[in-house]
Chains A and B, each alone.
Chain A
Amino acid sequence: MTSTLLAETTLPLGLNFFEILLEMFNLAILVVGVRFLLYKPVKKYMEKRSEEYKKAEEESEQKRKEAEDLKLQYEKVLEESRQNAITCSKEATASAMIQAEEIVENAKTEAERILQKAEEELSHKELMQKEELSNSVSELALDMASKILQREIKTEDNDIVINNLIERWKN
């Protein structure tokens, strides 16, 4: 009854309260329908994706930090290794120098020893040769004297002549 009255009420520009209510009801149904069928699922999907991106970004950020930490660690290890290598190299150089010096020293000692031995041998040989030469010279002198004198020469004569010769030769 009321609705009929409202619907049939004549107002300017066709104003009708019942129609307004119907239109409001129509709009309410439409809003609810659009909200649950379109707006909310699309928004939910966008939020879910945004959440996933956020999560992925956080993970990536965390991994980046981890990678940076690892990089720092590796750089530290690398620096330590470099320092160790430098130290090792220095030590090796020093050791090699010492070794080389030792080798040179040894060589010098050995050379000196060889030289001394050679000198000793030479001196010994010289003495030996001198002795041999002395003997041969005495024999030679004896022969020469015998032939010159054509007589028996006594040992005493020999000795005098030889000793003279030797003395002269020595000088």
Chain B
Amino acid sequence: MYSMLSGKFADFLRNQYREAFSGGMSDKVSEALEPELVNLFGLKVNPSMFTAFGLTVFILLVCVIVRIFIIPKFQKRPKGMQIVLEGIVGYFDRSATSELHRHGSFVGPYVFTAAAFIALGTLVELIGIRPAFGSINACFAFGFTTFLVINICGIREKKLWGRAKRYVPNIINILTDISVPFSLSLRLFGSIMSGFIITELLYAQLFTSIVLPAFVAVITTLFHAAIQSYLFATLTVMFVREAVE
């Protein structure tokens, strides 16, 4: 009985793999990677961009609500929402300030926002919305912005010549620095897209779309959301610290 079921499941996976990758990408994978573009103020853009904009509006609205209704009611002895907010902001501020000192006040909010955006942008997949990082453009945007932040801090700390001097004795450093935004972007895109594609493939078949996604989604979405946001935040702080050292 079990061997029959496992045999059927192995056949199913084989068929899925063949369907997905034999003779090019399957419709599902292709659709996940290159979805039909949508119209945004006359421009054809990836639907992930809608998620990104929507998420920005949502986060800003939450911030406004928190600013108006929660922050003025802060007490010396924190409780409830205040503990959560102070815990999160305190964590990012401490990690940025302890590593980057005067640059902490600039990098801290960036890392905090990026981590929150990555986590929420991935978690929206759980409610059936296309993740914000389902488009490689969003990932590259994050990678390039981090690259800008790293260099702004580096130039602020060492001035332009001081920053450029590191390329003189060892020209390979140029390659090291240029690879940073690409490694950040492609890591983000790879992990989030892989989770998205796996979930899409599971939903594509009736047999696997009943109970399995509840477990797989936890691994591919929840874990990725937490891990990728943590990783992005840690790597950003690390790269900026290298630049200002």
The residues of A with any CB-CB pair to B shorter than 8 Å are 3-4, 7-8, 13-16, 18-24, 26-31, 33-35, 37-43, 45-46, 49, 52
Contacts and interface: CB of A to CB of B under 8 A. Distances in A.
B109 interface: yes
Contact of A20 (B56, B112, B140): B140
Interface string B70-97: 0100101000000001100110110000
A15 to B, nearest CB: 6
B196 to A, nearest CB: 13
Given A20-B144, A24-B144, A43-B93, A37 B60 contact: yes
A45 B74 contact: yes
Contacts of A23: 49, 52, 137-138, 140-142
Contact of B45 (A15, A22, A39, A52): A22
Contacts of B76: 49, 52
Contacts of A30: 56, 59-60, 113, 117
B183 interface: no
Interface of B: 33-35, 37, 43-46, 49, 52-53, 56, 59-60, 63-64, 66-67, 71, 74, 76, 85-86, 89-90, 92-93, 108-110, 112-114, 116-117, 135-138, 140-142, 144-145
Interface SS, B side: helix
B115 to A, nearest CB: 11
A22 B136 contact: no
Given A15-B136, A23-B138, A35 B34 contact: no
A6 B110 CA distance: 27
B89 A43 contact: yes
B112 A14 contact: no
B63 A19 contact: no
Nearest to B189: A13
A35 B44 contact: no
Given A14-B33, A38-B63, 10 more contacts: A18-B43, A23-B138, A23-B142, A26-B53, A27-B141, A30-B59, A34-B109, A39-B113, A42-B85, A46-B90
Interface SS, A side: helix
17 contacts: A3-B43, A8-B44, A14-B136, A15-B136, A18-B43, A19-B135, A20-B140, A23-B142, A30-B56, A31-B110, A33-B59, A35-B109, A39-B93, A39-B109, A41-B67, A42-B85, A49-B76
B64 A16 contact: no
A18 B76 CA distance: 47
Q: Find the residue from A34, A38, A40 having the highest chain B CB count within 10 A.
A: A38
A8 B39 CA distance: 12
Given A15-B136, A19-B137, A40 B63 contact: no
Contacts of B59: 30, 33-34
Contacts of B74: 45
B52 A14 contact: no
Q: Which 6 A-B pairs have the closest CB atoms?
A: A23-B141, A37-B63, A19-B137, A35-B109, A42-B89, A39-B109
Q: Find the residue from B60, B90, B113, B138 having the highest chain A CB count within 10 A.
A: B113
B71 A34 contact: no
Contacts of A46: 86, 89-90, 93
Contacts of A39: 89, 92-93, 108-109, 112-113
